C-alpha cells in the first residue's frame, strides 16, 4: 500500500542504503592485502568459476581451486568445466574435503563437442540442508536447500555453449527459462550462476531503447531475466582491465550470478577475483555476497518493512525462564519512578511514551534478543542501482585514502598496482556523471606521487567528488520516490472508478482469494438434488445469497414487530436484572485488567510498539499501576495514544 505521508525531509536527512565511511574498518581498505577477500560479517556467498578443463595441469588447478575456496570462504561454488570427466570430479571432491559436490550427468555422445560439465560445491555446514538436486542436462544443474522458516533456496549452475554450437545453445537456454518459470511458480528463492557466453553490457541499450528487438528469440534469455525482475549485481571492482573472461588481450564479462526478485533483497555486493594465472583458466571467478539472515532467521520481516528500518530487534521469548521474567519485572519497576498522581496529569501520548520506553528498555536489558535486517529493498531503476554502486565504490576508495593518511607507513608498491585498476573505474565514474561536477576531477596516475603531501590533495578531490555524487544519489532517489508514489496513487484512484475490486484489495493491502463452487446440494424434504452443471450452480448460489437475508427498507420499530421466532430471542429475560449493565462503562479495576491480560494468547506478533502479551503479563506492580491509569484515561477521554494508531486493523470481508 502506498504511503501518502512520505516524509521527504526525513528521507533526505536519513536516506536508505547510506554508506558511513566513519564506520568502515582498516580491513575495508581497497588497498589492504585482504581487500575484497575477507568474508562479510553475517553473510554467505555464491561463486562461479570456469576452470577451463582439468586435462592440463590438473593437480596444480585442484590446489589453486582449494586455495581459492579457503581464501574467499566460499559457501556455494558453481564450477563449470567444458571437458569435465567423472573420475576427475570424484578426485576433485575428495581433495576438497570441506565441501559436498553435486554434479550434472555428463553427455558423452559422440556428436557433442564438449561435455559442458557443471557442478555445485556446497560447504559442509550447509550441505545438510540439501533437499534434492536435479541434473536437467549435462550443462544445467539445480540444487534445492530448505532452511528454517519455510525458506526454500534453489541454486542453478549453467554452461551455455558459444554460438558455434547453436543447437545445443538454444536447447540449454530454453531448458533454463522453463526451469526458472517453474521455480518462480513454486516460490523458491533462487540464483543462477554460469558461463553465459553472452555480453549483458551490449544487451542493455537494446533492452531499454529497442524493446521490439529485445523480444526476439536471439535475446530471449537476457530479456526474460530483466523483464522478470532478476538482478545481476555489477561487481564493484569490474573495469576495462578486470573482467571475468580474457583472451587475446580482450577482456569481457560473460560469467554472471543472477538473483531472483525474492533473493535480490538480501544481496550485499559482488566482486571479481583476479586469478592472476592463465594456466589455471582464462576466466576469473566472480563472488556475490548475500545477507545470511535469509538462511538463519525464521522470523518474518514485515514489521521491519512497515517501520522502514534497516534493522529490527526481536525478543526470543521461548528461551526466557521464570527467574529471567522476575528480573524483567524488577528492572521495569525500578525505572518507573514517576508518582501516579503526576503520571495521571500527563497527556495520553506522554504517558504511553514513558511506559513504552521503560518496557522496551527493560526487555532490551534483560531478555534475550536478536537483530534482524530489513527484508524489503524497493525495486530501483537500473540507472539508480548503478549510481548507488558507483557511489559506494567511491566511498570505499575515499576511506582507503583516509587510512593511508592515518597510516602512511603502510604504503607499498601493491598500492600503485591496485590504484591503476581503481583509477580506470574512477575516471569512468567522473565521465559518466560529469554533469554534477563543475570541472571533471583529474586524479594522479600513481599513488606514490601523492606521498609528498601525505595524500591530502587526492583526499580532498575524492571527498568533494563523494559529496557531489552523494547529492546526485539523493536527488535521483527522491525523484524516483516522487514518481513511484504519484504513479501508484494515480493507479489506485483510477481503480476507484474503473475497478473497485482492485481498489479495495490495494486499500486493504491484501491479495485476492477465491473459492470455487463446483457443486451444490439442495436439501429438500421430498426432492433433494445435487447440482453439478455450472449454470445451475451459479443460479442456485445467486438465488440463495439474494434471499438468505431479507432486506428491509426500515428497521423494526419494536420487538413486537420482529418475526415470531426472533421475538423471544430479543425479549428481556425475567431472571436477569437490568442493573447488570449499569457498571458496563465504569473504569476497569486492576483485577479486571490483569484478568484480561492473562487471558491473552502467547506467541502473537507484536505491533509497532514491539511489546508482546508476554511482557504485559510479567509487569511488576508499579508498572501495572501506571498502565491501569493510562487505560482508564483512554476510557474517560474516548481517545488512544498516537503510537497505538500506527497499528492497522481491518475487518475481514
- Angle (nearest 5°) at CA 150 between 146 and 155: 40
Say whether 152 sits in a helix, a strand or coil.
Answer: strand
Rounded CA gap, 541 and 549, in Å?
13
Q: Find the largest Cα–Cα distance for the chain.
A: 106
With beta carbons less than 8 A apart as the criterion, state whether 532 and 538 touch. no
With beta carbons less than 8 A apart as the criterion, state whether 106 and 117 touch. yes
Q: What is the pLDDT of residues 601-635, one digit of tens each?
A: 888 777 767 888 899 999 999 999 999 999 999 88
Residue 19 pLDDT: 41
With beta carbons less than 8 A apart as the criterion, state whether 268 and 290 touch. yes
What is the average pLDDT value for the chain, to the nearest integer?
Answer: 78
Is the dihedral angle over the CA atoms 366, 370, 371, 374 positive or is it negative?
A: negative
Q: What is the mean pLDDT of residues 407-430?
A: 85
Residue 142 pLDDT: 94
Rounded CA gap, 335 and 357, in Å?
10
Rounded CA gap, 388 and 535, in Å?
57
174 Rama class: left (phi>0) / alpha (psi -120 to 50) / beta: alpha
Q: What is the mean pLDDT of residues 364-372?
A: 84
The candidate with the shortest Cα–Cα distance to 11, out of 522, 484, 532, is 484
CA 232 to chain centroid, in Å, comes to 15
Q: What is the DSSP letter of 434?
A: G
Quick one: pLDDT band at residue 420, thresholds 50, 70, 90? confident
Q: What is the DSSP letter of 368?
A: -
**594 burial level (CB within 10 Å; 0-12, 13-18, 19+):** middle
In degrees and rounded to multiples of 5, residue 271 shows phi and psi of: -140, 160
Q: What is the DSSP letter of 125?
A: T
Residue 445: CA atoms inside 13 Å, Cβ hemisphere, count? 0
Residue 69 pLDDT: 77
Residue 615 pLDDT: 92
Is the dihedral angle over the CA atoms 391, 397, 400, 406 positive or is it negative?
A: negative
With beta carbons less than 8 A apart as the criterion, state whether 69 and 77 touch. yes
Q: Taking the CB of residue 431, how many other CB atoms lie within 10 A of it?
A: 10
With beta carbons less than 8 A apart as the criterion, state whether 109 and 138 touch. no
Residue 646 pLDDT: 64
Residue 98 pLDDT: 82
More confident residue, 240 or 167: 167
pLDDT of 568 > 90? The answer is no
More confident residue, 297 or 646: 646
Rounded CA gap, 208 and 160, in Å?
24
Quick one: pLDDT band at residue 156, thresholds 50, 70, 90? very high
With beta carbons less than 8 A apart as the criterion, state whether 262 and 235 touch. no
pLDDT of 25 > 60? The answer is no
* Domains in the chain: boundaries: 43-296
**Which is it for strands 286-291 and 267-272: parallel, antiparallel or unpaired?**
antiparallel
Residue 497, C-beta contacts closer than 8 angstroms, at least 6 positions apart: none
Residue 317 pLDDT: 85
Say whether 45 sits in a helix, a strand or coil.
Answer: strand
pLDDT of 6 > 60? The answer is no
pLDDT of 17 > 80? The answer is no
The DSSP bridge partners found for residue 247 are 250
Single pTM value for the model: 0.45
CATH architecture of 43-296: 4-Layer Sandwich (3.60)
105-119, 513-527, 619-633: segment of lowest average pLDDT: 105-119
Residue 149 pLDDT: 64
pLDDT of 507 > 70? The answer is no
Residue 87 pLDDT: 64
91-95, 309-313, 557-561: segment of lowest average pLDDT: 309-313
Rounded CA gap, 257 and 86, in Å?
25
Residue 236 pLDDT: 67
Q: What is the pLDDT of residues 233-291, one digit of tens each?
A: 777 666 666 677 777 667 777 888 999 988 887 888 888 876 655 556 677 888 888 88
Residue 238 pLDDT: 67
Is the dihedral angle over the CA atoms 476, 482, 488, 494 positive or is it negative?
A: negative
Amino acid at each position: 500500500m502506498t504511503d501518502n505521508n512520505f516524509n521527504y525531509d526525513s528521507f533526505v536527512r536519513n536516506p536508505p542504503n547510506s554508506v558511513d565511511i566513519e564506520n568502515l574498518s582498516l580491513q575495508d581498505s581497497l588497498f589492504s592485502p585482504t581487500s575484497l577477500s575477507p568474508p562479510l560479517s553475517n553473510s554467505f556467498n555464491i561463486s562461479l568459476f570456469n576452470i577451463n578443463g582439468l586435462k592440463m595441469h590438473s593437480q596444480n588447478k585442484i590446489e589453486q581451486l582449494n586455495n581459492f575456496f579457503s581464501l574467499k570462504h566460499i559457501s556455494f561454488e558453481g564450477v563449470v568445466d567444458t571437458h569435465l570427466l567423472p573420475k576427475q570430479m570424484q578426485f576433485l571432491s575428495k581433495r576438497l574435503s570441506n565441501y559436498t559436490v553435486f554434479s550434472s550427468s555428463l553427455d558423452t555422445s559422440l556428436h557433442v563437442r564438449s561435455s559442458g560439465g557443471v557442478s555445485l560445491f556446497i560447504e559442509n555446514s550447509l550441505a545438510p540442508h540439501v533437499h534434492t538436486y536435479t541434473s536437467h542436462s549435462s550443462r544445467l544443474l539445480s540444487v534445492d536447500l530448505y532452511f528454517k522458516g519455510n525458506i526454500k533456496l534453489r541454486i542453478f549452475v549453467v554452461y551455455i555453449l558459444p554460438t558455434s554450437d547453436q543447437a545445443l545453445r538454444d536447447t540449454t537456454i530454453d531448458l533454463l527459462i522453463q526451469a526458472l518459470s517453474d521455480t518462480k511458480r513454486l516460490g523458491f528463492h533462487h540464483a543462477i550462476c554460469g558461463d553465459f557466453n553472452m555480453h549483458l553490457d551490449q544487451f542493455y541499450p537494446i533492452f531499454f531503447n529497442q524493446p521490439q528487438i529485445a523480444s526476439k528469440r536471439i535475446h530471449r534469455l537476457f530479456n526474460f531475466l530483466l523483464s522478470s525482475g532478476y538482478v545481476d549485481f555489477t561487481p564493484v571492482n569490474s573495469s576495462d582491465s578486470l573482467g571475468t573472461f580474457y583472451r587475446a588481450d580482450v577482456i569481457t564479462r560473460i560469467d554472471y550470478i543472477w538473483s531472483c526478485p525474492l533473493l535480490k533483497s538480501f544481496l550485499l555486493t559482488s566482486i571479481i577475483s583476479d586469478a592472476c594465472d592463465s594456466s589455471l583458466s582464462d576466466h576469473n571467478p566472480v563472488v556475490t555476497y548475500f545477507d545470511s539472515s535469509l538462511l538463519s532467521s525464521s522470523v518474518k520481516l514485515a514489521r521491519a518493512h512497515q517501520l522502514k528500518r534497516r534493522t529490527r530487534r526481536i525478543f526470543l521469548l521461548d528461551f526466557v525462564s521464570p527467574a529471567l521474567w522476575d528480573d524483567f519485572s524488577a528492572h521495569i519497576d525500578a525505572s518507573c519512578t514517576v508518582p501516579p498522581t503526576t503520571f495521571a496529569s500527563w497527556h495520553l501520548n506522554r504517558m504511553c511514551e514513558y511506559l513504552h520506553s521503560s518496557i522496551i528498555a527493560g526487555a532490551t536489558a534483560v531478555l534475550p534478543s536478536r537483530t534482524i535486517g530489513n527484508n524489503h529493498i524497493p525495486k530501483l531503476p537500473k540507472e539508480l542501482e548503478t549510481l548507488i554502486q558507483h557511489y559506494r565504490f567511491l566511498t570505499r576508495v575515499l576511506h582507503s585514502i583516509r587510512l593511508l593518511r592515518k597510516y602512511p607507513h603502510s604504503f607499498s608498491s601493491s598500492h600503485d598496482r591496485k590504484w591503476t585498476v581503481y583509477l580506470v573505474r574512477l575516471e569512468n565514474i567522473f565521465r559518466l556523471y560529469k554533469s554534477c561536477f563543475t570541472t571533471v576531477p583529474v586524479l594522479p596516475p600513481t599513488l606514490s606521487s601523492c606521498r609528498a603531501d601525505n595524500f591530502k590533495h587526492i583526499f580532498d578531490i575524492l571527498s568533494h567528488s563523494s559529496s557531489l555524487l552523494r547529492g546526485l544519489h539523493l536527488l535521483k532517489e527522491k525523484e524516483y520516490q516522487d514518481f513511484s508514489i504519484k504513479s501508484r496513487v494515480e493507479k489506485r484512484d483510477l481503480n476507484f472508478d474503473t475497478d473497485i475490486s482492485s481498489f479495495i484489495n490495494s486499500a486493504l493491502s491484501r491479495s485476492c482469494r477465491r473459492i470455487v463452487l463446483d457443486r451444490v446440494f439442495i436439501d429438500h424434504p421430498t426432492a433433494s438434488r445435487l447440482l453439478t452443471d455450472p449454470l445451475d450452480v451459479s443460479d442456485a448460489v445467486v438465488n440463495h445469497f439474494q434471499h438468505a437475508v431479507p432486506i428491509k427498507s426500515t428497521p423494526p420499530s419494536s420487538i413486537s414487530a420482529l418475526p415470531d421466532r426472533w421475538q423471544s430471542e430479543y425479549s428481556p429475560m425475567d431472571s436477569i436484572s437490568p442493573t447488570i449493565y449499569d457498571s458496563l462503562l465504569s473504569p476497569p479495576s486492576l483485577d479486571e485488567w490483569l484478568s484480561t491480560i492473562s487471558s491473552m494468547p502467547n506467541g502473537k506478533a507484536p505491533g509497532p510498539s514491539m511489546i508482546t502479551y508476554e511482557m504485559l503479563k510479567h509487569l511488576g506492580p508499579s508498572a501495572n499501576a501506571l498502565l491501569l491509569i493510562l487505560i482508564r484515561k483512554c476510557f474517560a477521554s474516548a481517545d488512544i495514544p498516537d503510537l497505538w494508531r500506527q497499528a492497522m486493523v481491518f475487518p475481514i470481508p
